[in-house]
């Protein structure tokens, strides 16, 4: 049943008609639990509140799979506005983005132009930028562009997914760049030809790549809500005397907020992924796909309305 629900919501996440409807009707039916608002001003209020509790943040203007240059430029400008707002307010926040929203599917020239604009602005405000990883078909291209940008900028990192067979090799191949990587399990529906189909195998590979990247001496963001992975990381860093400033935990806004605060109290760096914007539908569906408990929360919210 759980797998069927996951597949159902992942299927819905790619429905363009529902995406358009979601933009029209706004953050309803529980999405506001996971999305900080539709505007940067709304998101800034959320960041300030999280910072006041000792939580770091990475902010993401939602949007992916743009199909024209004007939309890619608009998404780029929204990211630039977010950078300026974070700098002006002196907030403890980074920026995350998807390169499809910068024009990845349109042209290499466009995406590189937009990424350089963002990284130049981020450098001016002493901000770090993480390039989110998307589905498998865009993985290699994303990493190729990351390599090129890493030569030019020191304030950029990217994401690798534990459910892909290729990830262990990717970590070794990227090691020469001493990259700052966010390691995740992965939230897209992929073929068993490219990804581990069983959760236990994903979990084991996740532990393997966390250990590999940390022991390579590189900064590692462990993005998980899985207590077993959190405990594994704690034991690993203690066993190998890895300092707390070489890694951080990351969780999504609206998921396990109490645990986020507990990790801060335990002395760990905890960063919250805070999305905002009108194009929230695909992101929201993937959150519902990840945990059945999220679906139950949303249904309760609808009943209350």
- The per-residue pLDDT for range 83-100, each reduced to its tens digit, is 999 999 999 999 999 999
Is the pLDDT reported for residue 17 higher than 70?
no
Is the pLDDT reported for residue 289 higher than 70?
no
Number of domains, the chain:
1
Q: Give the pLDDT confidence score for residue 45 in this predicted structure.
A: 97
Structural domain boundaries, residue 50: 36-279
Is the pLDDT reported for residue 292 higher than 50?
yes
**Catalytic residue (one of 75, 138, 182, 286):** 182
- Global pTM value: 0.86
Average pLDDT over residues 195-224: 97
Any catalytic annotation for residue 287?
A: no
Q: Is residue 207 part of a domain?
A: yes
Indicate the pLDDT class of residue 280, thresholds 50, 70 and 90.
low
Q: Is residue 11 part of a domain?
A: no
Return the higher-pLDDT residue of 63 and 213: 213
Q: Is residue 188 part of a domain?
A: yes
Per-residue 3-state assignment (H helix, E strand, C coil) for the chain: CHHHHHHHHHHHHCCHHHHHHHHHHCCCCCHHHCCCCCCHHHHHHHHHHHHHCCCEEEEEECCCCCCCHHHHHHHHHHHHHHHHHHHHHCCCEEEEEECCCCCCCCCHHHHHHHHHHHHHHHHHCCCCEEEECCCHHHHHHHHHHHHHHHHHCCCEEEEEECCECCHHHHHHHHHHHCCCEEEECCCCCCCCCCECCCHHHHHHHHHHHHHHHHHCCCCEEEECCCHHHHHHHHHHHHHCCCCHHHEEEEEECCCCHHHHHHHHHCCCCEEEEEEECCCCHHHHHHHHHHCHHHHHHHHHHHHHC
Q: Is residue 151 part of a domain?
A: yes
Is the pLDDT reported for residue 131 higher than 90?
yes
CATH of the domain at 79: 3.20.20.220
Any catalytic annotation for residue 182?
A: yes
Of 6-10, 170-174, 294-298, the poorest mean pLDDT is in 294-298
Q: Is residue 200 part of a domain?
A: yes
Is the pLDDT reported for residue 165 higher than 90?
yes
**Catalytic residue (one of 60, 105, 132, 170):** 132
């Amino acid at each position: 049943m759980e797998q069927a629900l996951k597949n159902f919501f992942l299927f819905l996440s790619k429905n363009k008609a529902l995406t358009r409807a979601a933009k029209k009707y706004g953050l309803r039916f529980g999405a506001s639990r996971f999305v900080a608002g539709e505007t940067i001003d709304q998101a800034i209020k959320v960041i300030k509140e999280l910072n006041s509790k000792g939580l770091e943040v990475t902010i993401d203007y939602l949007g992916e799979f743009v199909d024209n240059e004007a939309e890619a430029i608009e998404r780029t400008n929204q990211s630039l506005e977010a950078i300026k707002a974070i700098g002006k307010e002196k907030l403890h926040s980074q920026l995350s983005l998807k390169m499809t929203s910068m024009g990845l599917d349109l042209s290499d020239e466009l995406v590189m132009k937009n990424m350089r604009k963002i990284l130049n602005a981020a450098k001016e405000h002493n901000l770090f930028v993480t390039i989110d990883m998307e589905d498998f078909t865009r993985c290699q291209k994303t990493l190729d562009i990351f390599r090129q940008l890493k030569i030019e900028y020191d304030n950029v990192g990217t994401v690798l997914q534990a459910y892909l067979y290729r990830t262990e090799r990717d970590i070794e191949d990227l090691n020469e760049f001493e990259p700052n990587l966010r390691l995740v399990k992965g939230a897209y529906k992929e073929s068993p030809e490219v990804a581990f189909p069983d959760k236990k195998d994903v979990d084991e590979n996740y532990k393997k790549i966390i250990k590999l990247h940390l022991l390579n001496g590189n900064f590692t963001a462990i993005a998980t809500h899985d207590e077993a992975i959190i405990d594994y990381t704690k034991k690993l860093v203690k066993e190998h005397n890895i300092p707390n400033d070489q890694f951080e935990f990351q969780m999504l806004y609206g998921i396990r907020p109490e645990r986020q605060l507990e990790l801060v109290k335990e002395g760990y760096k905890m960063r919250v992924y805070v999305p905002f914007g009108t194009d929230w539908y695909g992101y929201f569906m993937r959150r519902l796909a990840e945990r059945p408990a999220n679906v139950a929360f949303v249904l309760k919210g609808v009943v209350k309305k």
